[in-house]
Each structure stands twice: as structure tokens, then as C-alpha cells.
């Protein structure tokens, strides 16, 4: 490291030019870094949605899901296959490893899905890759302004706005909910068909035979070839209605049914009680989030005369707020650290030299982030803010040692080089050990590794930059700016003497000191139970998610009526600023099984509203009284999304009945636990189904097989697409259905349906089949092709680990049916995985730190003594966490990991001096006391500088408290206790580990004194 110092002292102009280049490069890189709200934490999965209109769940399972799963399992790398099946829909999730290329796997899954022979009515499988590109970066509602009709509004969106936004650079896809699709509906009256001796198939044949346009060839007119076509294609609803079905007697289509143009939609949306269209934008993988959302807003602004935009979520706003917040908190931290350094050094010039490492290190970090394709997000910004206090440590140690030497020596390049050389090994070792602490984060797989990998890399860049600055820029500036400066010893000797006296006492009373320290450590452990444990703390957004779930099979009209009655009550609450309501779900286009019996709200509350109080009140006020109807009211987490399941118990067993019994027992057990809410299982949602059991003999007597009966009955229950009608640029599908005048609203009505057999005989359904109403689970769930039940719920308490612990105990006490087993997912698995991963990371970090220190010290005893400073940091971590009312979370554990590097830094600075003095011939006791007096000030300065730099983050004033607040609280608390104990525990352990030499030195010392006494 002294080579860098020699170069900087001999070439100050070159160093200044390099600094200017770093400033320019850092500022340039900061403008080119892509900005995102959060790092990619999506799990590697592919989703396959298949729609089979009109099919029961069991039929979908047999003809779609089972063969699809069989084909998918042949794809290499498949880890888990889970499926959910409901009426008309099949949803399959395929999990892969984080290392797999999902684009390649998606292609393989598409090939497998397309190779399956499905029934002809089944729609093409929709394969979706789980990736950030499928998550909206911009969520909004579009509302029509006065004077624009509903039809004009819809046309403006579908024909003008949607194509324009899709064409913007960086826009991957646009999801539009609430638009209606027009179609031509032909509804035949079965009584009139029977009266005219017509069948459904005959009408289909007539319509399809007439509605066509075909080329015939070419003719030559005036020496020019012209194409000849024949067309009978429909061009209007009236033309279809007037279609001649029978010439004698004259019979037109409108005489046997109704022809009309209708509008349908899977979803109904509104904003603040007004009809609206949900408009959600997804970006491409390489696009900059802020650029995309800004472009979308600019594009929508062009239509301000026709539409108004209610923005529900804009990633760019959150990103900009996070950047501004972290810059502000980082700057405040730097100011606090500077004031602390000024307090110790009592000189503005010296303080400026010390803190110059902060901006230069951050700018170098920006350059490296761009080169390593990192983005600006909550994690990388948090890494820079957290590193603000640590990057100044090396410079503090260097400048403090230079000043200490200048108190007794005249400044020169040789003095500065000598001063840097004295601490070079200490600062290099301490920086490398801190870097070694973050290395395990890069080895972690799963969400933890994904979340904190960029964070760790950012901190590593900052630390390496600070080490380089401390041995180049700081020595150069010290020589240039301090040649006329004579430092004074501001009570350093007095404070050092007091510490040396206290240290001498503890070295003579090792047992008492260690016993008290261990008692403090053991006594602090129960605080972990007081603080509670969660995966990540909740954000500070004033947003609420509501989900209304009505019984399976509820029609859209009933769902809309109920949802809008709730919406009206929400809008009357003065605490609500904006609402978005989406009723229903689009079929086959989601990353989960589409639920058509639900309505979802996103609510924005005013800034002065109490979020928890609002949620509690609405749960009671809006609690549904209708059977099998629930309303979930939860905080809306921008990172995790709305209503993330905290409790998810999978129940397996040998039979459906035993699984149901086990699921019911577990559901009741979970409900009895305090702090749980919205507990239910998928088998509770039984769905009524009308079953037609064909009596084979009776059917054959009437000339029908089951297949023929199916073909005759399907038109009564399912619309069939029989063609299209194109007028201008608009194409509408034509659907045909048979519907009795009085409808089909009972089992009796179905049994009395009249069918015309191939022998032209009219019979009723009851003549060939038994018609009855049955119950079955609304959703069939499969895990690796085996049916299972799922018990889900929410945890309302902040201490999720406490609830999960009680949940585990409650489930263990249950006596479940034979061979029925369960497994816990949700937050319990999340927390357990977090603790296991971070526990392993901490152990690996300690091992790597020890290896680095062994290499640096060239022996094992001093590094081993330093390790004893690590456990005592836990005292401050737990105490600070409880005082700050922060749960123990992933951020806290990262703080503990970071503390390992910081804590050993102080011990390294101390013992490095001890080793130097021992080489000069001092005894271990003398070396410890001398090093304690000399290195006390830099140890205190670096520790307090780090703590003061983290104070703004710990106060939680910024937008990114999700990660940074818990981490800052843990580091500050741990540093307070570990710094104090390091100054005493490490010297004690060093003496204990070198007890033979200490004993020999003490014996030699007493012998020498005795010899001098005799001589005297």
C-alpha cells in the first residue's frame, strides 16, 4: 500500500487529475444507471393457463391438466409442478432452479403444451414467464371526460391510446381491464325450432354456408386482369336477422330467434366510483423504469382533452423519492460523521482531508456499478448510504496517525510515508475482513441472495474505493495542506491514560470482566422474543388492499351490485383519497388461477390517516353477512403486492375424504390462534353442479349415444363461435346458442329440455338421463399430480414468528386421520429459510474473516482473540431493536453480518499496534497498554463516525426504510456495545491465549526487580 502513497506524494498533480476524472466519471455514470424500485426477486417459474369453455373442473382435470402435466414433466430441469383446476380453467405452475435460463425453459414448455391433443373447444395454452417484465411498473385508471360517450371512450383507448403506448420504447406489454368486447349473439328459441322442424345443426350449416367470401379466379377486361370473388359475408345485424332459413314457407332467422350486437367483459373497473378502464404498463427487461413511465405519462397527456388519468402506482415516483431520500440521508450521515471527526480533531482542514473519502468513494462506486450492470434501487442505494460511515474509517486511521506523529516530529514526505506504513496493514486487513463478510451473500441462492447480492457488491465497491483513497488522496492532501499546521494534543494523553488505567484493572481481573460480559450477553437473549421476527418489515405506504370473495359461480351482476355497495361506503370515508375497483378477473392471462368471483380494491389514504386503525375499523364495518362471502382488508405492500399469504398449510393424504377431514381440523386449529385472520381452505368452497347421468339403454333405444347427446345438449349451455362479421376495421365474432324463453334456472328445467333425435323424434332429457344437483370442491389442487388441500390465512401481528411458533405447536397437538400429513409454507417457511440462509452466511463470514486475519497477522492467536469481540455486538443489536420497536428481520440479520466486519476492524487496529510494539521488545502487557493509549482515539472516531452516519437511516425519515432502518438500528446498537467491550475483552483474550509468554514475562519482570533490590 505504501507504493500508492509514494506515487501520490511524488505526483500530486496526477492524483488531482485522477480525482477530477473520477468526479466526471461518477457524475456521468449516475445519469446512465438504470433505475428500478427493487432488485429482481421473482422466483424462476413458468405458468400455463388453459381455458376450456363450459367444462366442469373434473372434465378440465381429466382432459387438460393431467395430459398437460405429463408432457411438461419431460422438460429437463423441472423441479415442482403444481396445478389448480376450476370450471373452464386450468392453471399450472412449473418451478425451475434460479440458475436456469427461463427464456429457454419457456420455449420448451410451449413446445410441450402445444404437443398435447386437447378437445377441439379448448383454447390455445397461454404460457407466461415469471419475470419482472410481467409486473406492472405503471398502474392507472383512465376515465372519460364529459362529452365523451362510453362507446367513444372505449374506441379511443383500443384504437388510439393502446397502440400508441405499446409502440413506446421500452414498453413490453400493456394490460387493459374493463374494456368491453362486442359480439354478435344469435339466440335460438327451442320451441320455435321444434315447431318448424329445424335442428340447431341445420341452422349452423345455413349460417356458415352463407357467411363466406371466396376467390373465383380472374377475367380480362379492357386488357387488364381483374380478380373475381363471390361473397355472401354478413355486413350488419339486420342482414343476419333477415337471413332466409327456409324458402317455403318463408322463414327468416329472426322468426326463430333473436339477433343482436352485445358487449361483454371479464372485468368491470371503476375509479373513485366512476366507470373507468384499468391501464397497466409492463416494461422490457433492459429498459429503464423511470424512462418508460415518464414516456407513458407524456403520451397519455396528449389525450388530456378526452381522458383523465388516475395514477395508482408509478415506479418512477417511488424510485425518485428513494433516490432523493437516500441521497439526503447519506448527505446528512456524512455531515454528522464530519462533525464527529471535527469534534475529535478540532481542525476544519484536517476534517476535510478525512472526509474527502466519502464523495470520492461514492463516485468510484457509481462508475463500478455501471460497469457491473447494477441498477439504482432500494438495495444499492441502501448499500451506499450504509457505507457512508464506513468509507471514512480508513482515512480517519491514516490522518489520525499522521497527526499523532506530527505532534513530536516535523512534517515531511518521509514522516507521512512512515505514518501510513504503520497503519497500512491494519486498514488493509480491516477492509478485507469487512469485504469477506459480504462475500457469503453472493453465495446465497433464493430471494435472500437475489435481494442482498447487489447490496453487498455496492458496499464492497465503496470499501475498496475508500481503502484506495486513504493511501493515496489522504497522504497527498495531508502533505499539501498541513505543512504549516502544528497539531495539538487535545487531551488525548489524558483520555488515553484513563483508558490504560481501566484496561490494566480488567487485565488483572479477567474473570470478573468476562463473567459480567457473558451475563450481559445471556441476559440480552430474551430480548429477541420481545422484538419479534419477520421476513421484511412493512413499508410506510398509506395504501390498503381489499378483496371481496363471493361463492363460486356467482354471476357478474350479483358481484357488481355487492362490490359497488362496498365502494360507496369506502368513498364516504374522509380518510380515503382515491380508490380503484376491479370486479372479476380476465380468464387465462394471470400468474395464478383466475378467480371470477372476486372484486379487488386498491385504496389510497390521506397522509394523516392511521393505516392500522382504518384497516381494523373496515374489517368490522364491512364484514359480510352473506354466507360463504369474505372480505379481506390488508395493507398494500408495493414490493410484495397485496394480500400476500402469511399462512399456507399444504395437506396431503391417501384419499379426498381424509384430506378434507384433515384440512377442516387444521383450519379450525389455525382460527383459534390469536393474531390470525381470513383463515380458510380450498375445500370449503363447494360448488353446486348439475350432473346428467346417461342411462345407456334408454339412450340407445332413442338412437342416441352419450357423444350424440352431448352434441345436442351443448348448444343449450354454451355459446358456439360460428363465424365473424367484418365492417370497416372492426371484426366481431358471431356466437350461436339455444335458450328456452323462460331460461334454464332449475334442475327440472334441464330435465325437461326437448331434443330431436337422428330419427327426427322429439324426446326430453329425462327420457335418457338422470338429472340431479351435486356438490364438489370448486377448486381441485394438485402437487406433483397428487391432489391436496390448502389452508391459508393472514397474520395481523407484527411478530409473525411468534404466531408461527404457536401455529406449529397447535398443529403438532392435532390427531389427524391416518396417513394425512401437512407442511408449512407462507411466512413460516420464509422466516425459517431466512434464518437458515443468514445463519450459514454469518458462519461462513466469520470463517472467512478469520482466514483473512490469519494471513494478515501471520499467526492464529491474535485473530482468534479478535473473534471474541463479535458475540458481544448482539447485546446492543437486540437492545437497540427493542428500543426502536423494530422486529428482527432480514435487514437486522444483514446488519449483524455487517457488524462482524466493523467490529473486527476496531480490534485489528488495536492488535496491529500491539504486534508492532511486541516486535520492538515490549512485553505483551506493556504492548497492550501502549497500543490502547495510542489507538483509542482512532477506534472511537471510526466507531462513532459510522454510528453518526447511520443516524438518519435509523430514524426512518426516508422512503427506503424497508431495508435501511432495521439495518442501521442493528449496526448502531451493536457498535455501541462491541466498541466498549472490544477495548477490554480483546486484550484479555489476547493475554489468555498467550498466557505462557505473559507468565514468563511477569516472572522475568519480578526477577529483575528482585535482582535490583538485592544490588541496592
d(CA 925, CA 511) in angstroms, rounded, equals 17
Q: Is the pLDDT of residue 326 over 80?
A: no
Residue 922, C-beta contacts closer than 8 angstroms, at least 6 positions apart = 930
Gap between the Cα atoms of 113 and 696, Å rounded = 35
Lowest mean pLDDT among 37-46, 188-197, 560-569, 868-877: 37-46
Report the share of the chain in percent with pLDDT over 70. 92
Q: What is the pLDDT of residue 1012?
A: 45
Q: Per this entry, what is the length of the chain?
A: 1016
3-state SS assignment for residue 575: coil
User: Which pLDDT score is estimated for 736?
Assistant: 92
Q: State yes or no: pLDDT of 709 exceeds 50.
A: yes
pLDDT tens per residue across span 84-128:
888 888 999 998 887 888 889 999 999 999 999 998 888 889 898
Beta bridge partners of 681: 791
Cα angle vertex 682, ends 678, 685, to 5°?
90
Confidence at residue 164, expressed as pLDDT on a 0 to 100 scale:
93
Mean pLDDT for the chain overall: 83
Query: Tens of pLDDT along 160-200?
Result: 999 999 999 989 888 888 888 888 999 999 888 888 888 88
pLDDT band at 1011 (very low <50, low <70, confident <90, very high): very low
**Residue 1016, pLDDT score:** 36
**Cβ atoms within 10 Å of 704's Cβ, excluding its own:** 25
Q: Please, are residues 961 and 952 in contact by the beta-carbon 8 Å criterion? A: no
For residue 589, what pLDDT is reported?
Answer: 58
Class of domain 541-643: alpha beta
- pLDDT for 139 equals 87
pLDDT of residue 242: 92
Rounded to an integer, what distance in angstroms lies between the CA atom of residue 516 and that of residue 508? 15
Tell me: pLDDT of 431 over 80.
yes
Residue 267 pLDDT greater than 70, yes or no: yes
**493, pLDDT greater than 80:** no
Q: If you average pLDDT over residues 138-153, what whole number do you get? A: 87
Domain formed by 494-531+859-1001, architecture:
Up-down Bundle (1.20)
- Taking the alpha carbons of 737, 739, 744, 749 in that order, is the dihedral positive or negative? negative
- Report pLDDT for 539: 57
What is the model's pLDDT at position 185? 92
**Is 1014's pLDDT higher than 60?**
no
* 1010 pLDDT tier (thresholds 50, 70, 90): very low
* Banded pLDDT at 766 (limits 50, 70, 90): very high
Of residues 92 and 375, the one with the higher pLDDT is 92
Strands (E), 257-380: 257-264, 267-271, 274-283, 307-314
- Is the pLDDT assigned to residue 924 strictly greater than 80? yes
- Residue 375's closest CA among 442, 291, 434, 435? 291
- What is the pLDDT at residue 495? 64
Q: Where are the alpha helices (DSSP H) in 143-245?
A: 150-156, 162-166, 190-195, 200-210, 237-241
Distance between CA 909 and CA 906 in Å, rounded? 5
Q: What is the pLDDT of residues 739-756, one digit of tens each?
A: 887 778 888 888 988 888
Confidence check: pLDDT of 1003 > 80: no
Options 1.10.760.10, 1.20.1640.10, 3.30.2350.10, 3.40.50.80; which CATH number does 355-367+376-490 get? Answer: 1.20.1640.10
Q: Are 406 and 347 a contacting pair, CB within 8 Å?
A: no
Would you say the CATH fold of 541-643 matches that of 355-367+376-490? Answer: no
pLDDT in tens, 772-797: 988 777 788 888 888 888 888 888 77
Q: How far apart are CA 540 and CA 962, in angstroms?
A: 8
**Comparison of pLDDT for 1006 and 771, the residue scoring more:** 771
Q: Given this model, what pLDDT does residue 639 score?
A: 54
Picking from 128-132, 423-427, 799-803, 890-894, which range would have the lowest pLDDT averaged per residue? 799-803
Give the pLDDT score at 142.
92
What confidence score (pLDDT) does residue 107 get? 92
Compute the C-alpha angle 313/315/319, nearest 5°: 135
DSSP track, 845-881: HHHHHHHHHHHHHTSSHHHHHHHTTSTTHHHHHHHHH
Q: What mean pLDDT is predicted for residues 793-817?
A: 82
Q: How much is the pLDDT for 168? A: 93
Above 60 in pLDDT, residue 243? Answer: yes
- Asked if residue 249 has a cis previous peptide bond (ω within 30° of 0), the answer is yes
Phi and psi at 922, nearest 5°, equal -75, 155
Kindly list the distances between the CA atom of residue 136 and the CA atoms of 171, 172, 577, in Å, as whole numbers in the listed order.
10, 10, 22
- DSSP labels for 103-136? HHHHHHHHHHHHTS---TTSPPPEEEE-SGGGS-
- Using 50, 70 and 90 to split pLDDT, how confident is the model at 312? confident
User: d(Cα 285, Cα 37) in Å, to the nearest integer?
Assistant: 14
Q: Determine the pLDDT at residue 1013.
A: 40
pLDDT reported for residue 797: 75
Domain locations in the chain? Answer: 355-367+376-490, 494-531+859-1001, 541-643
CB of 59 within 8 A of CB of 599? no
Residue 488 confidence (pLDDT): 61
pLDDT in tens, 593-608: 667 788 989 888 888 8
689: how many CB neighbours lie within 10 A of its CB?
A: 16
Q: How far is CA 658 from the centre of its chain?
A: 36
Give residue 335's pLDDT.
82
Q: How confident is the model over 320-341, as a mean pLDDT?
A: 76
CA distance 355 to 335: 9
Cross-strand pairs, 271: 274, 580
740 prior amide bond cis, ω within 30: no
Range list of H helices, 757-889: 800-812, 826-857, 861-867, 873-883
Amino acid at each position: 500500500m505504501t507504493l500508492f502513497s509514494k506515487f501520490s506524494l511524488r505526483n500530486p498533480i496526477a492524483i488531482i487529475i485522477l480525482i477530477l476524472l473520477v468526479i466526471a466519471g461518477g457524475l456521468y455514470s449516475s445519469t446512465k444507471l438504470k433505475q428500478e424500485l427493487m432488485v429482481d426477486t421473482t422466483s424462476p417459474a413458468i405458468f400455463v393457463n388453459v381455458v376450456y369453455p363450459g367444462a366442469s373442473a373434473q372434465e378440465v382435470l381429466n382432459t387438460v391438466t393431467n395430459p398437460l402435466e405429463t408432457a411438461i414433466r419431460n422438460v429437463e430441469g423441472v423441479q415442482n409442478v403444481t396445478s389448480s383446476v376450476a370450471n373452464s380453467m386450468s392453471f399450472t405452475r412449473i418451478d425451475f432452479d434460479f440458475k436456469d435460463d427461463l427464456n429457454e425453459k419457456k420455449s420448451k414448455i410451449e413446445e410441450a403444451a402445444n404437443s398435447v391433443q386437447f378437445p377441439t373447444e379448448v383454447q390455445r395454452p397461454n404460457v407466461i414467464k415469471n419475470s419482472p417484465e410481467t409486473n406492472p411498473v405503471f398502474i392507472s385508471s383512465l376515465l372519460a371526460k364529459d362529452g365523451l360517450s362510453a362507446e367513444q371512450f372505449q374506441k379511443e383507448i383500443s384504437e388510439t391510446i393502446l397502440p400508441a403506448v405499446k409502440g413506446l420504447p421500452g414498453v413490453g406489454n400493456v394490460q387493459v381491464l374493463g374494456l368491453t368486447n362486442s359480439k354478435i349473439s344469435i339466440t335460438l328459441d327451442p320451441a320455435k325450432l321444434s315447431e318448424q322442424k329445424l335442428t340447431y345443426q341445420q341452422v349452423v350449416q345455413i349460417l356458415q354456408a352463407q357467411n363466406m367470401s371466396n376467390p373465383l379466379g380472374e377475367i380480362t377486361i379492357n386488357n387488364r386482369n381483374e380478380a373475381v370473388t363471390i361473397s355472401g359475408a354478413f355486413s350488419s345485424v339486420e342482414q343476419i336477422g333477415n337471413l332466409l332459413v327456409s324458402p317455403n314457407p318463408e322463414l327468416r332467422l329472426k322468426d326463430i330467434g333473436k339477433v343482436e350486437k352485445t358487449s361483454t367483459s371479464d372485468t368491470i373497473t371503476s375509479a373513485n366510483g366512476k366507470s373507468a378502464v384499468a391501464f397497466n404498463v409492463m416494461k422490457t427487461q433492459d429498459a429503464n423504469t423511470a424512462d418508460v413511465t415518464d414516456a407513458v405519462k407524456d403520451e397519455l397527456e396528449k389525450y388530456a382533452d378526452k381522458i383523465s388519468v388516475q395514477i395508482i402506482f408509478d415506479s418512477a415516483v417511488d424510485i425518485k423519492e428513494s433516490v432523493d431520500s437516500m441521497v439526503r440521508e447519506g448527505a446528512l450521515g456524512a455531515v454528522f460523521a464530519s462533525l464527529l471527526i471535527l469534534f475529535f480533531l478540532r481542525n476544519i482542514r484536517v476534517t476535510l482531508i478525512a472526509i474527502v473519502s466519502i464523495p470520492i468513494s461514492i463516485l468510484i462506486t457509481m462508475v463500478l456499478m455501471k460497469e457491473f450492470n447494477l441498477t439504482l434501487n432500494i438495495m444499492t442505494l441502501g448499500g451506499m448510504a450504509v457505507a457512508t460511515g464506513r468509507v471514512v474509517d480508513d482515512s480517519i486511521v491514516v490522518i489520525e496517525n499522521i497527526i499523532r506523529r506530527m505532534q513530536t516530529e516535523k512534517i515531511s514526505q518521509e514522516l507521512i510515508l512512515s505514518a501510513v506504513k504503520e497503519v497500512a496493514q491494519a486498514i488493509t486487513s480491516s477492509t478485507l475482513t469487512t469485504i469477506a463478510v459480504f462475500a457469503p451473500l453472493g453465495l446465497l441462492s433464493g430471494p435472500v441472495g437475489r435481494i442482498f447480492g447487489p447490496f453487498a457488491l455496492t458496499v464492497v465497491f465503496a470499501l475498496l474505493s475508500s481503502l484506495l483513497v486513504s493511501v493515496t488522496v489522504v497522504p497527498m492532501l495531508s502533505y499539501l495542506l498541513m505543512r504549516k499546521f502544528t497539531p495539538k494534543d487535545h487531551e488525548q494523553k489524558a483520555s488515553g491514560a484513563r483508558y490504560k488505567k481501566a484496561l490494566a484493572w480488567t487485565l488483572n481481573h479477567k474473570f470478573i470482566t468476562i463473567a459480567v460480559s457473558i451475563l450481559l450477553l445471556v441476559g440480552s437473549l430474551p430480548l429477541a422474543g420481545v422484538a419479534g421476527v419477520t421476513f421484511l418489515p412493512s413499508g410506510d405506504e398509506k395504501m390498503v388492499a381489499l378483496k371481496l370473495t363471493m361463492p363460486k359461480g356467482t354471476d357478474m351482476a350479483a358481484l357488481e351490485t355487492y362490490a359497488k355497495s362496498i365502494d360507496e361506503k369506502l368513498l364516504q370515508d374522509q380518510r380515503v383519497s382515491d380508490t380503484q375497483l376491479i370486479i372479476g378477473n380476465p380468464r387465462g392471462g394471470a400468474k395464478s388461477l383466475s378467480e371470477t368471483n372476486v372484486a379487488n380494491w386498491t385504496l389510497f389514504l390521506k397522509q394523516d390517516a392511521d393505516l392500522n386503525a382504518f384497516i381494523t375499523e373496515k374489517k368490522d364495518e364491512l364484514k359480510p353477512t352473506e354466507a360463504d362471502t369474505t372480505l379481506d382488508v390488508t395493507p398494500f405492500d408495493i414490493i410484495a403486492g397485496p394480500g400476500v399469504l402469511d399462512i399456507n398449510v399444504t395437506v396431503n393424504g391417501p384419499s379426498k375424504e381424509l384430506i378434507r377431514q384433515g384440512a377442516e381440523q387444521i383450519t379450525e386449529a389455525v382460527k383459534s390462534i390469536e393474531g390470525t385472520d381470513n383463515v380458510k381452505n380450498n375445500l370449503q368452497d363447494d360448488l353446486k353442479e348439475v350432473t346428467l347421468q346417461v342411462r345407456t339403454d334408454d339412450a340407445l333405444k332413442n338412437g342416441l349415444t352419450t357423444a350424440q347427446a352431448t352434441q345436442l345438449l351443448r348448444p343449450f349451455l354454451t355459446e358456439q363461435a360460428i363465424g365473424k362479421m367484418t365492417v370497416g376495421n372492426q371484426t366481431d365474432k358471431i356466437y350461436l346458442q339455444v335458450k328456452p324463453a323462460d331460461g334454464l334456472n332449475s334442475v327440472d328445467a334441464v330435465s325437461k329440455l326437448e331434443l330431436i333425435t337422428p330419427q327426427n323424434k322429439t324426446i326430453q332429457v329425462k327420457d335418457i338421463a338422470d338429472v340431479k344437483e351435486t356438490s364438489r370442491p370448486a377448486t381441485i389442487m394438485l402437487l406433483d399430480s397428487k391432489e391436496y388441500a390448502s389452508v391459508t390465512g393472514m397474520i395481523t401481528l407484527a411478530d409473525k414468528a411468534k404466531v408461527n411458533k404457536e401455529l406449529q405447536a397447535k398443529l403438532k397437538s392435532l390427531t389427524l386421520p391416518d396417513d394425512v400429513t401437512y407442511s408449512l409454507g407462507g411466512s413460516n417457511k420464509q422466516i425459517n429459510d431466512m434464518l437458515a440462509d443468514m445463519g450459514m452466511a454469518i458462519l461462513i463470514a466469520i470463517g472467512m474473516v478469520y482466514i483473512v486475519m490469519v494471513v494478515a497477522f501471520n499467526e492464529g492467536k491474535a485473530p482468534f482473540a479478535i473473534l471474541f469481540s463479535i458475540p458481544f455486538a448482539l447485546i446492543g443489536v437486540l437492545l437497540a431493536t427493542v428500543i426502536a420497536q423494530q422486529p428482527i428481520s432480514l435487514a437486522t440479520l444483514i446488519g449483524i453480518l455487517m457488524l462482524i466486519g466493523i467490529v473486527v476492524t476496531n480490534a485489528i487496529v488495536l492488535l496491529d499496534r500491539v504486534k508492532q510494539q511486541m516486535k520492538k521488545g515490549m512485553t505483551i502487557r506493556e504492548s497492550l497498554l501502549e497500543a490502547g493509549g495510542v489507538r483509542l482515539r482512532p477506534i472511537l472516531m471510526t466507531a462513532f463516525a459510522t454510528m453518526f452516519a447511520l443516524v438518519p437511516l435509523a430514524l426512518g425519515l426516508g422512503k427506503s426504510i424497508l431495508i435501511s432502518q432495521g439495518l442501521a438500528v442493528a449496526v448502531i446498537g451493536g457498535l455501541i456495545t462491541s466498541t466498549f467491550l472490544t477495548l477490554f475483552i480483546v486484550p484479555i483474550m489476547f493475554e489468555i491465549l498467550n498466557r505462557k509468554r505473559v507468565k514468563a514475562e511477569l516472572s522475568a519482570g519480578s526477577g529483575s526487580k528482585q535482582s535490583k533490590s538485592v544490588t541496592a
